[in-house]
């Protein structure tokens, strides 16, 4: 991964910004793309780029950011431009958000803002263009309900990709879960979800809590709540503010492993067998009678 801004990208990015780039610093945290903070006399911006690049992937991410911006009060970085550049690069140019501390007030604002996003009217389950979860394509076809969407558009594609890593017992247990999903998933209206809401995709900025790197879709709101819990503890103030604004259906904690089967399968497919144990543990928990 290049530490400095690649020369092939610089002329196009400077044209789009309308000024010269005076500095570029690599940002950490991304597993899929190269990411830089760009400094100019007009301010800062963020550049995400990949080579070989697919401009359609960044176009889908830009669309997801715009959905989140329209859907609720949380801060979302503005999209400046996206497309192809010389040298086989694809890019997404975004507004820079100045980091700030994660204060109690900011944590409460995150909980309330996420609840408002999830309460906004949504047209149905699925029905948006494909986008990406990590480096994997994410399909978002329309479905009649949350259980159908979760199986057909989320679990089934990942299970096909993971076929060589799962044994017959794994496949049988996933089929058992498929039959139980309609009873396990609470009946709620569809919601616009971020779709990849682990803590690394939440920023505390000087404009309030912000969401980045979405895999946005119309789905069940517990998808986001589960992902918040996948790789670390969630501050109690975030959960308390969320529950005050939009209480979750009882038993939501028991359903976290079920929802997180999707990101865990995706990680199995992206990063290998080290995630197989977590997939099996989550499947055990999802099938446990309570």
Could you tell me the pLDDT band of residue 54, with boundaries at 50, 70 and 90?
confident
DSSP state of 41: T
Q: What is the pLDDT of residue 31?
A: 66
The residues that bridge with 265 in the sheet, in sequence order, are none
Task: Decide: 91 and 45 in contact? Cβ < 8 Å.
Answer: no
Q: What is the pLDDT of residue 29?
A: 60
Calpha distance 172→32 (Å, rounded): 32
In this prediction, residue 48 carries a pLDDT of 95
User: pLDDT for 261-275, tens place per residue?
Assistant: 999 999 999 999 999
Query: Nearest Cα to 129, choosing from 215, 223, 221?
Result: 215
Q: Where are the alpha helices (DSSP H) in 45-140?
A: 55-71, 104-119
pLDDT at 65 over 80: yes
Section 198-205 average pLDDT: 95
Number of residues assigned to the chain: 290
Give dist(CA 192, CA 220) in Å, integer: 8
Residue 250 pLDDT > 80: yes
What's the mean pLDDT in 190-214? 96
CA–CA dist 194, 212 (Å, integer): 9
Q: Is the pLDDT of residue 2 over 70?
A: no
Q: Per-residue pLDDT for 290 more than 80?
A: no
CA 279 and chain centroid, separation: 19
Tens of pLDDT, residue by residue over 107-142, are 999 999 999 999 999 999 999 999 999 999 999 999
19-47 average pLDDT score? 90
Band (pLDDT 50/70/90 cuts) for residue 53 is confident
**Which active-site residues does the annotation give?**
196
Lowest mean pLDDT among 18-32, 111-125, 169-183, 207-221: 18-32
Residue 125 φ then ψ, to 5°: -85, 120
Contact assessment for residue 46 and residue 35, using Cβ atoms and an 8 Å cutoff: yes
Give the whole-angstrom CA distance, residue 178 versus residue 260.
15
From the list 124, 154, 122, 123, the residue with the least C-alpha distance to 139 is 154
- Residues 46 and 153: their CA atoms lie apart, in Å, by 31
Return the higher-pLDDT residue of 31 and 41: 41
Q: Give the C-alpha distances (Å, rounded to integers) separating 188 from 51, 121, 181, 221, 246.
A: 41, 12, 14, 9, 12
From the number of C-beta atoms within 10 Å of its C-beta (0-12, 13-18, 19+), residue 198 rates as middle
Q: What are the structure tokens assigned to 33, written together?
A: 């793309």
pLDDT of residue 72: 85
State the average pLDDT over residues 69-82: 94
The two structure tokens encoding residue 61: 């991410």
Please check the confidence at residue 209 and state whether its pLDDT lies above 80.
yes
**Mean pLDDT computed over every residue of the chain:** 95
pLDDT reported for residue 32: 79
Residue 187's pLDDT is: 97
| pTM for this model (two decimals) | 0.95
Backbone angles phi, psi at 90, to 5 degrees: -115, 150
What domains lie within the chain, and their CATH numbers? 10-95 (3.30.200.20), 104-287 (3.90.1200.10)
d(CA 219, CA 185): 12
**Rounded Cα–Cα distance for residues 268 and 162 (Å):** 7
């Amino acid at each position: 991964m290049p530490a400095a801004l690649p020369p092939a990208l610089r002329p196009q990015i400077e044209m789009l910004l309308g000024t010269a780039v005076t500095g570029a610093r690599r940002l950490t945290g991304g597993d899929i793309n190269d990411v830089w903070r760009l400094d100019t006399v007009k301010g800062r911006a963020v550049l995400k780029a990949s080579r070989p690049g697919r401009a359609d992937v960044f176009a889908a991410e830009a669309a997801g950011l715009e959905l989140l911006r329209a859907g609720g009060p949380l801060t979302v970085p503005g999209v400046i431009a996206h497309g192809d550049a010389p040298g086989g690069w694809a890019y997404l140019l975004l507004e820079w958000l100045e980091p700030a501390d994660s204060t109690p007030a900011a944590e409460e604002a995150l909980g309330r803002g996420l609840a408002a996003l999830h309460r906004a009217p949504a047209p149905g389950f699925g029905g948006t263009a494909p986008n990406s979860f990590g480096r994997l394509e994410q399909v978002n076809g329309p479905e009649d309900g949350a259980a159908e969407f979760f199986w057909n558009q989320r679990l089934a594609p990942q299970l096909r990709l993971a076929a060589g890593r799962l044994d017959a017992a794994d496949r049988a247990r996933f089929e058992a879960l498929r039959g139980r999903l309609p009873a396990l998933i609470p009946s709620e209206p569809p919601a616009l979800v971020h779709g990849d809401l682990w803590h690394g995709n939440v920023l505390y900025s000087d404009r309030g809590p912000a969401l980045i790197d979405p895999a946005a879709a119309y789905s069940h709101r517990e998808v986001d709540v589960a992902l918040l819990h996948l790789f670390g503890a969630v501050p109690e103030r975030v959960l308390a503010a969320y529950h005050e604004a939009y209480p979750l259906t009882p038993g939501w904690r028991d359903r976290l492993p079920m929802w997180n089967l999707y990101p865990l399968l995706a990680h199995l497919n992206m990063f290998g067998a080290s995630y197989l144990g977590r997939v099996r543990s989550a499947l055990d928990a999802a099938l446990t009678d309570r």
